[in-house]
Amino acid sequence: MKATDIRASFAGYLGLQVLALLVLLAGLHFGASHPWSSLLASGNLFRLVLILAMGAIGTYIALKLSAVIDARNAVRAGSTVRPIQIAADEEDDPDQQDPVQACLDRLDRMTGLQAVKDEVRAVVARIQVEQRRAEAGLSVTAMSQHMVFSGSPGVGKTEVARILGDIFKALKLVRKGHVVEVDRAALVAGYVGQTAIKTQEKCKEALDGVLFIDEAYTLASDAQGGQGFGQESIDTLLKFMEDNRSRIVVIAAGYPREMELFIHSNPGLASRFTKQLHFTNYSEDELLDILASMAASQQFTLPQGYKDLVRPWLDSRVNDRSWANAREMRTLLERAREEQALRIASSPNASLTEISDADITAALERSRAYA
C-alpha cells in the first residue's frame, strides 16, 4: 500500500467521525427527550470524547505510517541504478575523427621518420584488412605484433611506441593500449629466483597494452650458455608472451647492431619478433626544425640566425656514437633558457620569450665543454 492511499483512507475516516459528532450534537440539542442539561447524566459526553480520541489516535498513526513509507521509498529511489542515457549525437557523431586516423596524424606530425611512418601504415592496413576478412567469414592468418625498434637514442622510438599503443587500442587488438616502459634494471634482480618475479610483475602491468623494453640487448649480455639473470628474464618474458599472445604487444628497442645480435641470440626471440622498424638519425635540417618546434611549444622564439649558429656544432657532433639526436636539441634549448634567465634576471623590462644570439652561443659553448 502506498502512503498516499493510507492518508486518503484515514482522511475519509476522520471526516466520518466529524460528521457523526455533528449529527450527535444536533440530536442532543434538538431532541425533546435529551435536553442539554441531561447530556452529562446520560453518558453521551463520555461516548463523544471516546469517539474523538479514537479518531485522533487513528489519524496520528496514519500520518506516522505514511511518513515511514515515504522515507523508505525515497531511499529506494536514491539507490536505484538508472541507465546512462547516451545522446544520439554522442553515440554517432559524424564530425568525430576516426581514432586510428587521429593516431596516424600524430605520427605524421613527427619530424622525419618517413620509413617508419610507412611501416606503421602498412601494419594498420594489414590489421584492418584481416579484420574485414574475419567479418566476411574468410580465413585469417594470426599475426604477431611484437616488434623491434632499432636506432640511436633520441630518434622518437618511445613516442612511436605510444602512438602504436593507441592504434592497437583503436583497432581493438588490446583493451587499454597503455605503454609500460622498462629497461634491464626494471626486469632483472640482483640474486637468483627474483628476476622471474620482477619480470612477470612488469609483464602483468603491461597486460592489455604494450611493454616497451629500452636497450633490450642488455638482457642477453650475461646469457652465457643459457645462464645469467638476463637469460632468466628472457625466458620469463617469452613464456608470458606465449600465454598471453592476444593481450600484450612487446616492443624491444636498442642500437641496430646490438638488437640484431639480441634477436638471434635465442630462437624464441627470432620467431616472435618478426617485424623490425629502423629509425635513422635525424638530418641536420630536421634537428634544426626540432629545436624550433621545441622552443615554440615552450613559448620561446629563437633568433633569426639560429641555424647558422647551431649548424657548425651539429657538423662536429652528429657522427659520434654517443649522439642522442632530439635529446641533444632538448638539452641545448634548456641551456639556452638558462643563459637567457641569467641575462634578463636583473632587467625587468626584458622580453621573457626571446632567446638571443648570445644565449645560443653561450649554450653551444657549454655543450662543447660537456661533449
What mean pLDDT do residues 207-215 have?
Answer: 96
> Which residues span the domain enclosing 64?
3-73
Range of weakest confidence among 111-115, 159-163, 269-273, 356-360: 269-273
Cell 492511499 appears where? 5
Instruction: Tell me how far CA of residue 125 lies from CA of 71, 128, 207, 248, 279, in angstroms.
Output: 59, 5, 24, 20, 21
Query: For residue 358, is it within any domain?
Result: yes
Q: What is the structure's pLDDT at 140?
A: 85
Query: For residue 92, is it within any domain?
Result: no
Q: How many domains does the chain have?
A: 3
Q: What is the structure's pLDDT at 250?
A: 96
Range of weakest confidence among 46-50, 170-174, 301-305: 46-50
Bridge partner residues of 278 (DSSP): 150
Shared domain check, 292 and 262: no
Shared domain check, 199 and 304: no
Shared domain check, 103 and 19: no
71-120 pLDDT, tens per residue?
666 545 544 444 444 444 444 555 677 999 999 999 999 999 999 999 99
Q: What is the structure's pLDDT at 84?
A: 44
Query: For residue 86, is it within any domain?
Result: no
Q: What is the structure's pLDDT at 88?
A: 44
Pairing assessment for the beta strands 248-254 and 275-279 based on DSSP bridges: unpaired
Q: What is the structure's pLDDT at 192?
A: 75
Q: What is the pTM of this model?
A: 0.70
Instruction: Tell me how far CA of residue 77 lies from CA of 80, 153, 277, in angstroms.
Output: 5, 59, 57
Decide which of 279, 295, 323 is a domain's last residue. Answer: 279
Q: What is the structure's pLDDT at 235?
A: 92
Q: What is the structure's pLDDT at 122?
A: 95
Shared domain check, 272 and 133: yes
3-state SS assignment for residue 107: helix
Shared domain check, 363 and 290: yes
Query: For residue 85, is it within any domain?
Result: no
Confidence of residue 223 (pLDDT cuts 50, 70, 90): low
Shared domain check, 272 and 223: yes
Alpha-helical segments (H) within 318-349: 326-344
Alpha-helical segments (H) within 206-283: 229-243, 256-263, 267-272
Q: What is the structure's pLDDT at 221?
A: 78
Confidence of residue 265 (pLDDT cuts 50, 70, 90): confident
Q: What is the structure's pLDDT at 105?
A: 96
Shared domain check, 31 and 124: no
Decide which of 57, 73, 89 is a domain's last residue. Answer: 73
Q: What is the structure's pLDDT at 341?
A: 96
| CATH number reported for the structural domain that contains residue 366 in this entry | 1.10.8.60
Decide which of 228, 252, 279 is a domain's last residue. Answer: 279
Shared domain check, 256 and 298: no
| CATH number reported for the structural domain that contains residue 115 in this entry | 3.40.50.300
Query: For residue 295, is it within any domain?
Result: yes
Shared domain check, 269 and 184: yes
Shared domain check, 104 and 248: yes
Range of weakest confidence among 191-205, 210-224, 346-360: 210-224
127-165 pLDDT, tens per residue?
999 999 999 999 888 788 999 999 999 999 999 999 999
Query: For residue 79, is it within any domain?
Result: no
Q: Between residues 352 and 40, which one has the greater pLDDT? A: 352
Burial class (CB in 10 A: 0-12, 13-18, 19+), 59: middle
Shared domain check, 162 and 251: yes
Shared domain check, 127 and 24: no
Q: How many CB atoms lie within 10 A of CB 259?
A: 22
Query: For residue 261, is it within any domain?
Result: yes
Q: Is the pLDDT of residue 281 over 80?
A: yes
Query: For residue 310, is it within any domain?
Result: yes
32-86 pLDDT, tens per residue?
455 544 544 455 555 666 666 666 676 667 666 666 666 666 545 544 444 444 4
Report which DSSP code applies to 190.
S
